Structure 1
Amino acid sequence: MLAQRIVEILFPLFALVALGYVVGKRHRPELSGANRLNMDVFTPALVFAALAGRHVDVREYLSLVLAAAVLVCGSGLMGWGLARHLRQEVRTLAPPMMFNNCGNLGLPLALLTFGEVALPPMVVLFIVSNLLHFSLGVWLLDRRARLFHLWRVPTLLAAFAGLAVGAAGWTVWPPLLTTIKMLGDISIPLMLFGLGVRLAETPIRAWRLGTIVAVARPLAGMALAAAMIGLYRLMGVRLEPLESALLVIFGALPPAVLNYLFAERYGQEPDKVASIVLVGNLAAVLFLPLALAMVLALFPPG
């Protein structure tokens, strides 16, 4: 039964986020050190293992990479139009429209929906989003930003290393790969729990704006995903059913928490961005089941 399958997929995600939220409200734990470890050690290990452990050749995912870039930039253009219509700062509204929660929610959602086979293509989507966020996204907030900071991001370095290993056809020593996978297994539960704690700490001062973006972001993303899938079919470009399904899920994801951190760092109305991120992630309770219903009906696992 489709509804039961959707509940089975989403329950672990929302349960861990809810647990983090409750703990965050009651105990206000200091997770900055754990989150830093997750970004610098555990998530890079997950990314490297997903790419190097399966000998992923990035050339197999060029169509998916292009589609992801179109989704990110297309959502930004829609965000620009929405900001002009609402008379809001484009730099406040466009980044949350562009950059979604493909780490905290996207990776575990892909894993729970389709299993381990979904990790490499979802990691590719994650890489594209992060590359654009740490380059174009930072530039939107600060025109003086320098792109060499990309080489300081451990997740991106791990991605490039994993892609290099996969493209070269090298085999990582199995005990070492197992160690890396064990480190990577820590990342997803910690991502979800940390997201809940972060949401508990986030103030809400712009409900109306947050609600508008919470609706506009997934609708725009899913519409662009459907448009790219349809365009590829018309052009005869090969996109695997799993990749199409993950593209729809990618489009439906809420704004990334990183948007708030960047807004705070660059002084770009962080209170408004915090509200957009919080309401957007709460609205995922409605939009992710919708996206999963579409995906499981059109692209059933197996």
Structure 2
Amino acid sequence: MRQAGKHGKQSVNLILTVIEIVAPVFLLGALGFTWTRLGWDYPVAFITRLAMTLAVPCLIFTALQSSQIDPVVLSGIAIASVLAYALIAVALFGLCLVLKLERRTYLAPMVFGNTGNLGLPLALFAFGTDGLSYGVAVLAVTTIGLFTIGLLIVSGASNPARVLREPMVIATVLGALFLAMGWSTPGWLTNSLDLLGQMAIPLMLLTLGVAVGRLHPGQLLAGFGLSAVRVLICAAAGVAAGLALGLPEVPFAVLVVQMITPVPVTSYLLAEKYDAGAEQVAGLVVTSTLLAVVTLPIALALLV
């Protein structure tokens, strides 16, 4: 009875944690939604450029630079993450072909999840400081993948060199280099970059809310279907990669949880910047985050 009561309490705490994490997403999104519904001006193009050129690169760089990861820990779960993402990409590429979906719009957002804002707190709560280290390793792979290969897909650039000049890619490469070499910027510069990076998430969420305010109901319904299929594919890929590489229990669980996190708001901003179906991506962000309130507690209950 005591064991059952303990597991029941833990499950409730996990559900509450998920709700606490996703609540700010919906609150700030609701502010953006209300703003545009009131007819007030919101310069999406300017704010997207500000976020993607300045705020997000600073956020990426400081997050990678400040991470404290054991190289052995990083290599094991990082390789598993690369394998999982490769499996997810192949499966979703096939899905896009079958359903005749625009790959520039749907592929990258559905492959890479919100392993930072949502995945890291869950990894810490469920698996402690070790879980957090594993989560950061997955985040590093996600960040590099999204802002290199993902950015190449979304932008539709035929010349990879053009993508490599993007501020987000430069920030990712520099952050990974500083992380690998153990370097750090001077305190005054780190604080300045960190302050600039703090703009990124509020700007992204407000802009997402504005986009949702302009959506048609049919786009949300389609988003729910795709988000449900995406969760199943990502969970299967995470399990397959973890088993194939023989990951221990905790990194295996963290890998699966990180793989099924919802579509990140960053994907919407990329779609907005490169005119790659931003409204459809906004629908995916909203619906996948709503589903995460149900799917993540279930996954954690099975894995913890």
Q: TM-score range by the shorter chain?
A: 0.7 to 0.9
Q: Is the 8 A contact 1:58 1:163 kept in 2?
A: no
Equivalent runs, 1:205-284 vs 2, <5 Å:
209-233=222-246, 237=247, 241=250, 244-245=253-254, 247-254=256-263, 256-257=267-268, 260-261=271-272, 264=275, 270=277, 274-275=279-280, 277-279=282-284, 281-284=286-289
Equivalent runs, 1:96-111 vs 2, <5 Å:
98-100=110-112, 102=114, 106-111=115-120
1:131 corresponds in structure 2 to 148
Determine the C-alpha separation between the residues in 1 that align with 2:233 and 2:290. Answer: 17
Identity %: 21
Q: Deviations over 1:51-76 (max 9, x none)?
A: 22246577753344433333443233
2:190 corresponds in structure 1 to 177
Note closer, same or farther for the CA distance 1:98–1:149 as it changes in structure 2 (3 Å cut). Answer: farther
Asked whether 1:21 is paired with 2:33, we answer yes
SS of residue paired to 1:170: coil
2:7 corresponds in structure 1 to none
Structure-1-length-normalised TM-score: 0.76
Moved more, 33-42 or 250-259: 250-259
Q: Is the 8 A contact 1:68 1:247 kept in 2?
A: no
Gaps of 5+ in 2: 1-11
Aligned-residue offset at 1:283: 4.1
1:50 corresponds in structure 2 to 63
Determine the C-alpha separation between the residues in 2 that align with 1:187 and 1:78. Answer: 31
**Residue of 163, 167, 171 corresponding to 1:150:** 163
Q: Deviations over 1:66-122 (max 9, x none)?
A: 333334432333234434544x256367615644453xxx43223544389568432
Q: Is the 8 A contact 2:108 2:150 kept in 1?
A: no
SS of residue paired to 2:206: helix
Aligned-residue offset at 1:148: 0.4
Aligned-residue offset at 1:246: 5.5
Determine the C-alpha separation between the residues in 2 that align with 1:5 and 1:230. Answer: 28
Gaps of 5+ in 1: none
Instruction: Give the number of aligned pairs.
Output: 281
Determine the C-alpha separation between the residues in 1 that align with 2:112 and 2:190. Answer: 29
1:191 corresponds in structure 2 to 204
Q: Is the 8 A contact 1:99 1:259 kept in 2?
A: no
Structure-2-length-normalised TM-score: 0.75
Q: Is the 8 A contact 2:239 2:252 kept in 1?
A: no
SS of residue paired to 1:252: coil
Determine the C-alpha separation between the residues in 2 that align with 1:60 and 1:242. Answer: 9
